[in-house]
Amino acid sequence: RRSPREYRGSPKAPGCVSAQAAQPAPTRRRHQNHPEGVRGSKTLALTFDDGPSEHTKDILDILEEHGAKASFFVLGHRIGGDYLKRMVELGCEVCNHTTNHHNLQALNARECLHELATCSTRIVAAIGQAPYFYRAPFGKDSPDARTAGLACGMVSVGWDVDAQDWSEHDAGTIASRIL
């Protein structure tokens, strides 16, 4: 196994942005919406996976109306339009959710690297910034995926509470699960 440092910028990491290109824009810190040491406190992090989608515009409008921020874990094959630029303008975090939403535990190291690197490359093309976080689809992370994430300058983010909003759309039910 190679260490994450050995992958960064090497021919074995196609699609990963260089360390220099992965630096955040000077006006925006990476992971600004993820304060350190929040476990155990009453803190809620709003995250949205699998977009951009037909719901993204409405979500962004609601966030803007309430002055709220969120993290968007986007799929590389869905990146298009101005959604990601608007996320950044509103102070939201744009994160990597792979290119095609494959279960990373079912992929080998090279395939994990391709899924994460391709999505990151598309994010950089859209907003000029590399993502700092990735979230494995279905929460199925793996050692190979974490190594690939580190090679692309990212760390893995999961969740403490699954709202299961994919199976139940009633707002009251979802709220009772997460609060």
Q: Tell me, what's the pLDDT at 36? A: 53
71 in helix, strand or coil? strand
Asked if 84 contacts 126 with a C-beta cutoff of 8 angstroms, the reply is yes
Q: Tell me, what's the pLDDT at 149? A: 97
Provide, rounded to the nearest whole percent, the portion of the chain with pLDDT above 90.
63
Segment 33-49, tens digit of pLDDT: 554 555 667 778 899 99
Q: Which residues pair with 72 in a beta bridge?
A: 48, 94
- Whether residue 51 has pLDDT greater than 80: yes
Asked if 152 contacts 115 with a C-beta cutoff of 8 angstroms, the reply is no
Segment 114-138, tens digit of pLDDT: 999 999 999 999 999 999 999 999 9
Q: Which two tokens stand for residue 16?
A: 């990963």
- Whether residue 178 has pLDDT greater than 50: yes
Q: Residue 175's pLDDT band (boundaries 50, 70, 90)?
A: confident
Question: What value does the mean pLDDT take over residues 131-146?
Answer: 97
Return the residue matching tokens 């494995």: 136
- Whether residue 100 has pLDDT greater than 60: yes
Q: What is the CA radius of gyration of the chain?
A: 16
Q: Tell me, what's the pLDDT at 39? A: 62
Alpha-carbon distances of 113 from 11, 72, 152, rounded to whole Å = 12, 20, 8
